[in-house]
Amino acid sequence: MFGTDFGQAYAEEKKHSDYWVAVTDQASEQILVFDTKKTNLNAKSALKWSWAPTEENGFDEELISAWGTPSGVKLRKAEDGGKYMLVTDSEGLVAMVSYPNGKRVWGHNVGGNPHAAELLPDGNVAAASSHGHFVRVYTASQGPDSSNYTEYYLQGAHGVLWDPKREVLWALGDLYLVSLKVTGTPEAPKLEEISRSSLPTFGGHDLSPVYSDIDKLWVTTNTNVYQYSKSTNTWSENYEGASEISRKSVKSIGDQPSGQVVLAVPRAGTKYSWTTDTVDFYLPSDKRVLNGGSFYKARIWNPNYQ
């Protein structure tokens, strides 16, 4: 682990009503976690935690070589009470890491340009790969090197999100939002499609909970940002702040306990056409800029599933 001492970081995190924000920085090739209440992300005090796979934290050369373009990150509170970071990298790595000590719990090069991962209640890990067009559940519960999986085909798979109330895995692709039931056993999982909803516009990209409404999901596409109602199977842009929030190329979105919405949208002049050096905020509007940064996603550091 790099950055602030994890014990201090964890203590400081608990002081805030709104959560810190993690970014997948493709310039430094690290996960960076910031206290965005600090107005200057370039100040040393703003960076609370950082991470990349190393031999010291349990990754071998093969897995380290599958890292370099981090594409997804989220924090989860597991049923054992521990916290774990789920990370993906377009080079192929999907990993589960103990937080805040940064040690590898499980990791595998899944290939296919993975964009998102999720921790399931039984300790297995779901992954979505956009070029591979798959959602997989890996048997991470069976050990750090376990590579068995079950697979569901989903064109342009970009997002996975566990729903503890409905006990389904939501998955987002180019054309559809689907809910999947995870059956079988932790040693031999299976995936069964429960529902399928056509996206209003093409190119599903980010999938996250609307924390202020257990019935809603944030869904971004190539051109819009929607809230999806699970109970009515409907899509809406009639939410607070939609006139500013719903825009093209939103790579990630989430809402804080205060109601503030956090976005990452590509900005010209950064490392890649899909990255930004800016975390955008709405309700109220604000922004934070990291000089030389190239974020793909900015994820609220909320360990809760919904």
- Decide if 68 contacts 58 (C-beta within 8 A): no
Distance (Å, whole) CA 14 – CA 98: 18
Q: Which of 51, 158, 49 is nearest to 114 (CA)?
A: 158
Q: What is the pLDDT of residue 37?
A: 97
Across all residues in the chain, what is the average pLDDT?
Answer: 96
pLDDT at residue 11, rounded to an integer: 47
| Nearest of 267, 209, 296 to residue 23 by alpha carbon | 296
Q: pLDDT tens across 225-282, in order? A: 999 999 999 999 999 999 999 999 999 999 999 999 999 999 999 999 999 999 999 9
- Give the CB-side neighbour count of residue 235, counting CA atoms within 13 A: 15
- Report percent pLDDT > 70 for the chain: 95
CA distance 115 to 189: 21
The pLDDT, as a whole number, for residue 16 is 55
Q: How far apart are CA 246 and CA 240, in angstroms?
A: 10
Q: What is the average pLDDT across 127-140? A: 99
Q: Is 193 helix (H, G, I), strand (E, B) or coil?
A: strand
Using omega within 30 degrees of 0 as the cis cutoff, is the peptide bond preceding 200 cis?
no
Give tens-digit pLDDT for 11-49: 444 455 899 999 999 999 999 999 999 999 999 999 999
Calculated CA dihedral for residues 45, 51, 55, 61, nearest 10 degrees = -140
In this prediction, residue 199 has a pLDDT band, given cuts at 50, 70 and 90, of very high
Q: What CATH class is the domain 6-300?
A: mainly beta
Q: How far lies 265's CA from each of 214, 231, 277, in Å?
A: 25, 29, 9
Map out the domains of the chain as residue ranges.
6-300
pLDDT band at 4 (very low <50, low <70, confident <90, very high): very low
Residue 1: what pLDDT?
36
Looking at residue 6, its pLDDT comes to 44
**Predicted confidence (pLDDT) at residue 96 exceeds the cutoff of 80:** yes
Please count the other Cβ atoms lying within 10 Å of the Cβ belonging to residue 302: 22
Inter-residue contact 230 to 166 (CB < 8 Å):
yes
- 39 or 79, greater pLDDT: 39
